[in-house]
């Protein structure tokens, strides 16, 4: 009985080497889940299957409930957390951007062969909600053949493209130095870097960098570093690399440091995710 209860409150991850473009996650009872604001390199889409939660995406915060589809473009800083004491269940799918861009290109939705972000961050369209649940069930069905899973994924994401609006082209965000700052972090996150180094690479003052970087990316430079380390760790853990080895390669001081940061942003331990 204890084991059954524990499984209901722990996240379940699904992956398949033959379908490396998609990953799935679900949890039945997420009342004790606590996410810090974070971002993914993937396109993320999920459904609330039970209860209510607070959904933060960029500067938008809203209360959502069962039947809602949530969407996070790559790089969107976001967090979902349950209302106090209320049951909350959800399912999430994470799609590789290059794979999804190929679908957009086939449908004439990709601009200059680049990923076209979505305008919507949430939807209560019944067809999308039902479609994501059907896809999740097919992906996690060990009896379903690979071709069936691939076809279901393509069909669902094509439906998402037809149903939801593309985001308009975003204007440049004031200072090109912010992009240089983000690039410097992406190239150096695995080592200890200082604010002075980032400012030098971006040719920006510390006060401007801190304020404007958070405004553009939804994360402080330090949080951006941690987020990049976690995204790297996820990729390495999916390959079965030892946790302690991943921690050092990602730039964490030790395995315990990785454990704390991973739990905060992924709402699961590295061991749960790796398994």
Q: Are 66 and 130 in contact (CB under 8 A)?
A: no
pLDDT at position 112 is 79
Q: Taking CA 11 as the corner, what is the angle to CA 6 and CA 14, rounded to the nearest 5 degrees? A: 130
- Strand 60-65, strand 69-72: pairing: unpaired
List the domains of the chain with CATH numbers: 2-163 (2.60.120.280), 176-274 (1.10.10.60)
- C-alpha dist (Å) from residue 101 to 158, 164, 217, 245: 11, 15, 22, 33
CA distance 4 to 2: 5
pLDDT at position 2 is 34
pLDDT at position 174 is 53
| Average pLDDT of adjacent 10-residue blocks, the chain of 275 residues | 55 95 94 91 97 94 96 96 87 97 90 90 97 98 96 96 88 76 96 96 94 94 97 96 97 96 95 91
* 33-75 pLDDT per residue, tens: 889 999 999 999 999 999 999 999 999 999 999 999 999 999 9
């Amino acid at each position: 009985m204890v084991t059954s209860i524990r499984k209901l409150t722990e996240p379940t991850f699904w992956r398949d080497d033959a379908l490396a473009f998609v990953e799935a996650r679900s949890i039945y009872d997420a009342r004790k889940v606590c996410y810090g604001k974070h971002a993914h390199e993937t396109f993320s889409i999920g459904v609330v299957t039970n209860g209510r939660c607070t959904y933060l995406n960029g500067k938008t915060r809203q209360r959502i409930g069962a039947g809602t589809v949530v969407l996070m473009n790559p790089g969107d800083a976001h967090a979902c957390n349950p209302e106090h004491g209320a049951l909350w269940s959800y399912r999430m799918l994470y799609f590789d951007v290059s794979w999804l861009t190929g679908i957009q290109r086939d449908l004439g939705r990709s601009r200059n062969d680049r990923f076209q972000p979505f305008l919507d961050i949430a939807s209560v369209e019944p067809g999308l909600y039902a479609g994501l649940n059907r896809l999740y069930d097919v992906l996690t069905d060990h009896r379903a053949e690979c071709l069936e899973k691939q076809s279901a994924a393509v069909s669902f994401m094509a439906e998402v493209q037809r149903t939801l609006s593309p985001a308009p082209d975003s204007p440049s965000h004031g200072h090109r130095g912010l992009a240089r700052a983000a690039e410097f972090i992406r190239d150096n996150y695995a080592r200890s870097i200082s604010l002075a180094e980032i400012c030098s690479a971006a040719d920006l003052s510390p006060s401007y960098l801190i304020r404007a970087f958070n405004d553009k990316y939804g994360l402080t430079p330090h949080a951006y570093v941690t987020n990049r380390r976690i995204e790297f760790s996820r990729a390495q853990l999916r390959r079965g690399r030892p946790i302690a080895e991943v921690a050092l390669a990602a730039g964490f001081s030790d395995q315990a440091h990785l454990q704390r940061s991973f739990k905060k942003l992924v709402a699961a331990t590295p061991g749960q995710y790796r398994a």
